[in-house]
Structures are given as C-alpha cells and as structure tokens.
Chain A
C-alpha cells in the first residue's frame, strides 16, 4: 500500500513562529499536494508539485511556501504563523495512471493550532 506520512499529527505553535509541516511518500509518486481543511469549507489546495524542485500555487497560497528537494518529500512552510492558519493540513500524493486518473492518496493529516 502507498503510504503518505505526515510527521506531526498535532502541533501547537505561537503567532509569528516559523512552522514546518513535513510529508513523505514511499511509492515514487511524481505529484504531491498540500490542502487545508476547515469546517464548512471543504478542502482547499494550497500548493502542489509535479516534480522535484518545482511547485505551483493552488487556490490559497498566501502565507505559505513549500519545498520539494527530494521526490519523496514535500514540506509546507508557514513563515510566520497566524491564528487564521489554525486548521487541519492534509498532504497527498498521486501518479498519472494509464487511464488518466490522478488518484490521490492522503496522509492522516496534521492539526495545527496557532495561539
């Protein structure tokens, strides 16, 4: 089974801190994604990456950056955490199947609270 592992299940940080959320996948997937999930808003795409060292902005990139130095690892960075970034963060990876389906496999999520 594909495994997508998010390093922290729960984090509590203070306003202004720099926060790193790490995500590792073990199936050589080309694509990796970061979403945030808030009640009533569903999942919103923050950033994604189709290859090492490349990144694309999603729908809500403001206040975030990402890093993909190795194929298996995709990091989400909050340069200066704010209370409105309190949320559940979901990492996912995928590959291009022969049928064109881009099936995402998700990690368990990282619940971040910014005080």
Chain B
C-alpha cells in the first residue's frame, strides 16, 4: 500500500480564518493526480478538489485551493474564510500505482469555532 501522511492532530480554526491541511506521500510515479475529500459527521464522503499531474497552476475550487508540490511529494489543501460547516475530516487521496485507483490518507480533523 502507498504511504500517505496526514500528521496534523485535530485542528481548531476560528470562523472566517484560513486553515492549511498538510499531505505528503511516497511514490516513484511521475504522472499522477491528487484529490481531497471531506467527510462531515454525517459520514458521506464529498469530493472537494482535484489536480492533475500536468496542471501547471494550482487548482482552486471556490474557497478550496491546492498547493501541489510534486518535487516535494506534497499537496496541501487550503480552506479560506472557514465556515462552521467546514468542520469535518479531510482526506488526501493521490491517484498512485498507475492504475487510477485512489489511496487515502488517515485524514485531518478540522473543527471550526465561532
């Protein structure tokens, strides 16, 4: 199994502030994409953002942006202007092994406080 590291313990962030979630991974692949998913307490997994291997600019999707640094094998998610509904687990999922299947990290817990 691929090694994906999300080491930050539960993070508390003030409403309207930004939060950065770290993700690093091991791979020898040169071509791969990377996803971030959100899982609120209700349990459903929600797709947030994707960046392809050859995308030159970092992906953005509303308040979500990806800081993708392939050379460092890192892909951090930035959530700007946090809202109470952002309280959830966030999973990094690089698409490794060359077969388009996703491997998930263990997740980062985010709690937004008013």
Q: Which A positions have Cβ atoms within 8 angstroms of B?
A: 31, 33, 35, 40-45, 48, 58-59, 88, 90, 92, 96, 99-106, 108-109
Contact = CB atoms under 8 A, between A and B. Distances in A.
B45 interface: yes
A40 B100 contact: no
Contacts of A104: 35, 37, 45, 47, 102
The 7 closest A-B pairs by CB, nearest first: A106-B45, A42-B106, A43-B104, A102-B100, A59-B1, A42-B104, A101-B50
Nearest to A92: B45
Nearest to A59: B1
Interface size class of B (residues with CB under 8 A): 20 to 34
A96 B45 CA distance: 19
Contact of B52 (A33, A41, A99): A99
Contact of B33 (A43, A100, A105): A100
- The main secondary structure of chain B at its interface with chain A is loop
A106 B44 contact: yes
Contacts of A42: 4, 91, 104-107
Contacts of A90: 45
Interface string B12-32: 000000000000000000000
B114 interface: no
A52 B52 CA distance: 28
Contacts of A92: 45
A112 B17 CA distance: 38
